Amino acid sequence: MKITIAQLDYHIGNFEGNTAKMVEAIRMAKEAGSDIVCFSELATCGYPPRDFLEFDDFIRLSDESLALLCTYAKDIAVVVGAPSHNRNPKGKSLFNSVYFLADGEIKFVQHKTLLPTYDIFDEYRYFEPAKSWEVVEYKGKKIALTVCEDIWDVGTDDPLYTIIPMDEMMKFSPDFIINVSASPFNYGHAKNRIHTVRANVQRYGIPMFYINHCGAQTELLFDGGSLVVSQNGMVHEELPYFVECIRHFSLEGVLKGDQSHEQPKNKIALIHDGIVMGIKDYFRKLGFSKAILGLSGGIDSAVTAVLAARALGPENVRVLLMPSQFSTHHSVDDAMDLVNKLGIKHDIIPIKDIYDAFMDKLSPLFEGMPFNVTEENIQARVRGTLNMALSNKFGNILLNTTNKSEMAVGYGTLYGDLCGGLSVIGDVYKTEVYELAAYINKDEEVIPKNSIIKPPSAELRPGQKDSDSLPEYDILDPILFQYIEKRQGPQDIIDMGYDPALVRRVLRLVNINEFKRHQTAPVLRVSPKAFGVGRRVPIVGKYLN
Amino acid sequence: MKITIAQLDYHIGNFEGNTAKMVEAIRMAKEAGSDIVCFSELATCGYPPRDFLEFDDFIRLSDESLALLCTYAKDIAVVVGAPSHNRNPKGKSLFNSVYFLADGEIKFVQHKTLLPTYDIFDEYRYFEPAKSWEVVEYKGKKIALTVCEDIWDVGTDDPLYTIIPMDEMMKFSPDFIINVSASPFNYGHAKNRIHTVRANVQRYGIPMFYINHCGAQTELLFDGGSLVVSQNGMVHEELPYFVECIRHFSLEGVLKGDQSHEQPKNKIALIHDGIVMGIKDYFRKLGFSKAILGLSGGIDSAVTAVLAARALGPENVRVLLMPSQFSTHHSVDDAMDLVNKLGIKHDIIPIKDIYDAFMDKLSPLFEGMPFNVTEENIQARVRGTLNMALSNKFGNILLNTTNKSEMAVGYGTLYGDLCGGLSVIGDVYKTEVYELAAYINKDEEVIPKNSIIKPPSAELRPGQKDSDSLPEYDILDPILFQYIEKRQGPQDIIDMGYDPALVRRVLRLVNINEFKRHQTAPVLRVSPKAFGVGRRVPIVGKYLN
């Protein structure tokens, strides 16, 4: 038996485009002589469709896609994820299902049992869990069809659910497992994914074909990394990350269990490639091609510019240099150094005159009050307005250059440097931005050395440095990591050896700045806990502040 | 038996404050000779605590609050909602529970069964559903304890769940039901609430004491409206909306079933009172007292200013008038008219010079390109920056004045008029803003008649009117309502008699402007479907656009 895995980049709601991709993959699978071609979870509509699922019209379009796919499911079986209707008046009105299409019709449907509802997942918002389990028989083989999370309560010390659907399906003695997934990337996920698939094949003694999405959906990155794992736990094949890929496998070859091929898993390389794909897909799916960003001469905007140039091509990246009276002379030089290296379009607009025009009007109101964060913010907002003016005039999307450390403690100006349609490195701590810069510079100096080594500064008042108001990033970042990624409380973090007053100050800063993060751009998610849809915190909360 | 209902305004994470309030209410209940005092769902920690629930430290603080409340639960029983621990290694680690405290200890705990996970609710994200049900016996009475949603699958044609916990508890023949709730306000909710409670008492033939939160938690408004409903379906008492309130009831009196008292339910009055409470609580819970907003002379900012003055006192509201070269002469006059009527502080800053300073720098880059939305946006962003400058300098929170119709179709400038810490009328359609203005003016003209009758305009280019680019609001709003509140698809709406091209254009506008709503302030929720946490739509989606 020959099985094709189609690891594709779907587009939410683009039924026509998604179906066309699958039809082409079916054609290729047939050409390769495959018996079954497998797509991913909710492949008709894209993942995550979110509240579009509440529209009957949207579900109707998915049903139409399925009907069309059926017409191609001749001389080949098609495994594809899509919503299905719960005909029972009780419970949610939809299931998240995997369909088995053959002989031109829907031959079998298995619903998803375990509905992830944590971090970025909201599946119980829409779906009723399966309460019955069967396998499908095709060409003499019995196949257990599972959907993503269904296999994730195996191989863990902390089971989230009370049922394991594969345990139920084993009653029918399936020959192998197909898992259709939509499992978003983070820098540690590929390792976990292999661990989980392996734990399943070892528990059940049968091989698994695991088909993931690739591509980005706004902030969510899907890395692909689809898997074929033999019953002995050998990774027969791990498909490449971040690219579409169609591969054909012989079941007999997989059952031999004598092949092992995994992709390299370097954290910073994964973050780099994930972000590049994230930018590319955000623009493509919105129908844009060109980006703009403010280039300060510092490391954050430099890294963002390089990632943008790699995603969109240097000819599609435009930067604005906006020195203020507080900018050091090397800021423009360092920025120009990068502009020349990347070969991107630039403009220089000093902001002093515009800032002065604001202060001219505001000074009478501010009489007798000292220069403070107000004036700093005005400068940042002049820059934001200039960036947005070019964005509006030339149809470029403004990229936000804020890093995760700044996002966390609110070190940034709303409607100023926090402007932008997409936050590129908002899930990358400052210390990781340095690693990313080193990775980018591994073969040649792309990011000017000076941008990397100079002390971080917002340059909004004379001689300002980040370290004036924040601890050094190599102390700040681990505290943030423990609080944000690890959900440790203040005492837990203090017990790790950090200064109690500093810990309390940092955690307070994170919590009181929730209002800023509420209004910032979607953040490309590369860590297990990114700001955005996967982290939900009340603005008026009075916890730790 | 005497039962006290304490309808209180909790503050998320403010364990000390919440506990102190409850201790005081226990004292009052004892003084009134009550046998039982009832608080609301998750009263220790406030509702919704969201991802704070993922912190062991946060749960520990809730446990400490419970321990403290136990020390006061002597000579009186205390019914209170709080998270509890799931000791089973399988499933989520918490339950959403109602505790029965008596004789200084936790006497009984019942977990919530039905975990709302739709609209603004995310409860399955955190909690394991109950799988066993009992009642508690106290002073010879058997009491069924339920938590909010537990009673909501009765009296509906569209049950969301497959179990009805009260059906299970009826096996123990309880004498009455207590329901601890955190049921957020919308203008139709009080009616639904009475319907549901009535359906329950009639199904089970026993009375119910229903205790809701009041107060606002960022965007969510809780109206209170706690209920005592006799077994015959008579509303023995409906507590007032939007205020804290402690009331004592004799069970025997309730059982007579001969009293009926409900609150008036005028949609616009409810929206008005809800928003006033929402502003008040947002400021109080964040520790602020003063607001600023831009006053344009139009109806939206006028209504917002009045609501702010009513919430915070006119002495705490400051407005900025920022005429441009395109402003009509009456704009400043109309705004000043309101300033004088309300007695609020104002400043006038014409924006032309600052706008010119921007254009002076940008003109060389824009050479040969016509005036378009770019220049309109610059004006809006100059205003946003001026508003924020005053906000920063004087510690005022900027109120956003955008209405729901504009939010829906993206008729507003990001980082411009969409600035602000809180969106006051972002869940009020333009046609409802007119009703709100009429309601405000019912006794005397507060909002200048001219602000109400003139054609809506952003005044960002000569002679501009909203109707140049949008349909009239009395056509636009019903289409938006069908799409947003009712989740109707394009064909459904066209079938109602609307122009097909217009319907497609409006729905497309809603969807392509998701990126703007992603970055706007939290919106005080007054409708069943507000923009914000209760409506989750992918930015890169390609549905209807």
Give me the CATH number covering residue B208. Answer: 3.60.110.10
Q: How far apart are CA A8 and CA A16, in angstroms?
A: 14
Please identify among residues 72-91 of chain B the ones whose CB lies closer than 8 Å to any CB of chain A. 88-91
A390/B contact by beta carbon, under 8 A = yes
Q: So what's the pLDDT on residue B463?
A: 86
At A146, list the tokens: 């599972």
Q: Which helix (H) or strand (E) holds B36?
A: strand B36-38
At B430, list the tokens: 């333009």
Is residue B279 within 8 Å of B521, Cβ to Cβ?
no
B469 with B427, same domain? yes
Q: So what's the pLDDT on residue A326?
A: 87
Task: For residue B490, tell me if it sits in a domain.
Answer: yes
Buried b (16+ CB within 10 A) or exposed e, B109-142: bbbbbbbbbbbbbbbbbbbbbbeebbbbebeebb
All residues of chain B having their beta carbon less than 8 Å from the beta carbon of residue A541 are: 12-13, 46, 49-50, 52
Nearest to B124 among A124, A388, A542 (CB): A124
B261 with B296, same domain? no
B227 with B359, same domain? no
Is residue A333 within 8 Å of A449, Cβ to Cβ?
no
Among A393, A281, A256, which residue's Cα sits nearest to residue B538? A281
Task: For residue A499, tell me if it sits in a domain.
Answer: no
A189 with A322, same domain? no
> In the β-sheet with A422-423, what is the strand arrangement from edge to edge?
A345-348, A317-321, A291-294, A397-400, A422-423
Kindly determine whether residue A51 and residue B282, on different chains, have CB atoms separated by under 8 Å.
no
Q: Which residues of A are catalytic?
A: 41, 112, 148
B261 with B286, same domain? no
| Enclosing domain of residue A407 | 274-466
Q: How far apart are CA B525 and CA B275, in angstroms?
A: 8
Is residue B57 within 8 Å of A492, Cβ to Cβ?
yes
Q: So what's the pLDDT on residue A34?
A: 98
A362/B contact by beta carbon, under 8 A = yes
B489 with B415, same domain? yes
Q: So what's the pLDDT on residue B161?
A: 97
Task: Suggest the residue from B542, B544, B545 to mutate for an interface test with chain A (most A CBs closer than 10 A).
Answer: B542
Task: Suggest the residue from B495, B540, B542, B544 to mutate for an interface test with chain A (most A CBs closer than 10 A).
Answer: B540
Q: Which helix (H) or strand (E) holds B302?
A: helix B299-312
At B63, list the tokens: 């446990």
What letter represents residue B319's amino acid? V
Kindly determine whether residue B415 and residue A353, on different chains, have CB atoms separated by under 8 Å.
no
Q: How far apart are CA B34 and CA B250, in angstroms?
A: 9
Is residue B186 within 8 Å of B140, Cβ to Cβ?
no
pLDDT at A460 over 90: no
A406/B contact by beta carbon, under 8 A = no
Which positions of chain B have pLDDT values less than 50? none
Task: For residue B332, tell me if it sits in a domain.
Answer: yes
Q: So what's the pLDDT on residue A463?
A: 86
Task: For residue B543, tell me if it sits in a domain.
Answer: no
pLDDT at A310 over 90: yes
A141 with A6, same domain? yes
B211 with B277, same domain? no
Among A170, A166, A173, which residue's Cα sits nearest to residue A210? A166
A261 with A281, same domain? no
Is residue B227 within 8 Å of B193, Cβ to Cβ?
yes
What does the H/E/C string look like for B58-93? HHHHHHHHHHHHHHHCCCCEEEEEEEEECCCCCCCC
Buried b (16+ CB within 10 A) or exposed e, B42-65: bbbbbbbbbbbbbbebbbebbbeb
Task: Examine the fold and report which residue of A232, A265, A298 is the final residue of a domain before the chain moves on.
Answer: A265
Q: What is the CA radius of gyration of chain A?
A: 26
Q: So what's the pLDDT on residue A328?
A: 82
Q: How far apart are CA A332 and CA A485, in angstroms?
A: 36
Q: So what's the pLDDT on residue B359?
A: 98
Is residue B540 within 8 Å of A286, Cβ to Cβ?
yes
Q: So what's the pLDDT on residue A450?
A: 95
Please identify among residues 210-249 of chain A the ones whose CB lies closer than 8 Å to any CB of chain B. 216-218
Q: So what's the pLDDT on residue B175?
A: 98
Number of structural domains (chain A) is 2
- pLDDT one-digit tens code per residue, A444-459: 999 999 999 998 888 8
What does the H/E/C string look like for B503-536? HHHHHHHHHHCHHHHCCCCCECCCCCCCCECCEC
Task: For residue A184, tell me if it sits in a domain.
Answer: yes
What letter represents residue A138's amino acid? Y
Kindly determine whether residue B522 and residue A535, on different chains, have CB atoms separated by under 8 Å.
no
A232 with A285, same domain? no
Coil, strand or helix: which one is A98? strand
**pLDDT over 70 percentage in chain A:** 100
Task: Examine the fold and report which residue of A450, A466, A482 is the final residue of a domain before the chain moves on.
Answer: A466
pLDDT at A210 over 90: yes
Q: How far apart are CA A246 and CA A235, in angstroms?
A: 17
Please identify among residues 124-153 of chain A the ones whose CB lies closer than 8 Å to any CB of chain B. 124-125
All residues of chain A having their beta carbon less than 8 Å from the beta carbon of residue B529 are: none
B371/A contact by beta carbon, under 8 A = no
Task: For residue B536, tell me if it sits in a domain.
Answer: no
All residues of chain B having their beta carbon less than 8 Å from the beta carbon of residue A92 are: 160
- Write the CB contacts of B511 (distance below 8 Å, at least 6 apart in sequence): B537, B541, B543, B544, B545
Q: So what's the pLDDT on residue A436?
A: 98
pLDDT at A327 over 90: no
All residues of chain A having their beta carbon less than 8 Å from the beta carbon of residue B52 are: 537-538, 541, 543
Q: How far apart are CA B490 and CA B505, in angstroms?
A: 10
Please identify among residues 407-466 of chain B the ones whose CB lies closer than 8 Å to any CB of chain A. 414-415, 419, 421
C-alpha distance from A117 to closest chain B C-alpha (Å)? 5
Please identify among residues 524-543 of chain B the ones whose CB lies closer than 8 Å to any CB of chain A. 533, 535-543
Q: So what's the pLDDT on residue B326?
A: 87
What letter represents residue A416's amino acid? G
Task: Examine the fold and report which residue of B265, B293, B316 is the final residue of a domain before the chain moves on.
Answer: B265
Task: For residue B523, tell me if it sits in a domain.
Answer: no
pLDDT at A33 over 90: yes
At A449, list the tokens: 């050395």
Q: How far apart are CA B4 and CA B32, in angstroms?
A: 9
Tell me what the mean pLDDT of segment A130-147 comes to.
98
Task: Suggest the residue from A415, A483, A513 to mutate for an interface test with chain B (most B CBs closer than 10 A).
Answer: A415
Per the annotation, the verdict on B280 as an active-site residue is no
Kindly determine whether residue A392 and residue B414, on different chains, have CB atoms separated by under 8 Å.
no
Q: How far apart are CA B535 and CA B537, in angstroms?
A: 6
Q: Residue A87, Cα to own-chain centre: how many angstroms?
A: 34
Is residue A34 within 8 Å of A9, Cβ to Cβ?
no
Residue B268 exposed, middle or buried by CB count within 10 Å (0-12, 13-18, 19+): middle
Give me the half-sphere count of Cα atoms (radius 13 Å) on the Cβ side of residue B533. Answer: 23
Q: Give chain A's mean pLDDT.
A: 97
What letter represents residue A79's amino acid? V
- pLDDT one-digit tens code per residue, A240-276: 999 999 999 999 999 999 999 999 999 999 999 999 9
B225 with B298, same domain? no
pLDDT at A376 over 90: yes
A288/B contact by beta carbon, under 8 A = no
C-alpha distance from B377 to closest chain A C-alpha (Å)? 8
CB atoms within 10 A of CB A445: 12
Q: So what's the pLDDT on residue B204?
A: 98
A359/B contact by beta carbon, under 8 A = no
Nearest to A377 among B13, B388, B490 (CB): B388
All residues of chain B having their beta carbon less than 8 Å from the beta carbon of residue A533 are: 536
Among B433, B497, B520, B509, which residue's Cα sits nearest to residue B471? B509
Q: Residue B403, Cα to own-chain centre: how many angstroms?
A: 15
In this structure, what CATH number is given to the domain that contains residue A307?
Answer: 3.40.50.620
Please identify among residues 488-507 of chain B the ones whose CB lies closer than 8 Å to any CB of chain A. 488-492
> Considering only alpha carbons, which residue of chain A is nearest residue B117?
A125
Q: How far apart are CA B152 and CA B197, in angstroms?
A: 8
For B215, list phi and psi in degrees, rounded to 5.
95, 170
Strand ranges inside A349-406, DSSP E: 397-400
At A492, list the tokens: 């837990």
Q: So what's the pLDDT on residue B319?
A: 98
- Could you give the angle at the alpha carbon of A321 between the alpha carbons of A319 and A326, nearest 5°? 155
Tell me what the mean pLDDT of segment A191-195 comes to.
98
B356/A contact by beta carbon, under 8 A = yes
Taking the model in full, what pTM does it have? 0.97
Nearest to A57 among B124, B490, B533 (CB): B490
A180 with A297, same domain? no
All residues of chain B having their beta carbon less than 8 Å from the beta carbon of residue A522 are: 518, 539
Q: Which residues pair with A360 in a beta bridge?
A: none
Nearest to A357 among B282, B354, B541 (CB): B354
Q: So what's the pLDDT on residue A10?
A: 98
Kindly determine whether residue B13 and residue A544, on different chains, have CB atoms separated by under 8 Å.
yes
Longest Cα–Cα distance of chain B, Å, equals: 87
CB atoms within 10 A of CB B481: 20
Coil, strand or helix: which one is A280? helix
Q: How far apart are CA A345 and CA A279, in angstroms?
A: 18
User: For chain A, what's the residue count?
Assistant: 545
Among B182, B175, B163, B164, which residue's Cα sits nearest to residue B135? B175
Task: For residue A133, tell me if it sits in a domain.
Answer: yes
**Number of A–B residue contacts, CB under 8 Å:** 265
In Å, how far are A1, B38, B183, B194 from B230, measured between CA atoms?
Answer: 67, 17, 21, 12
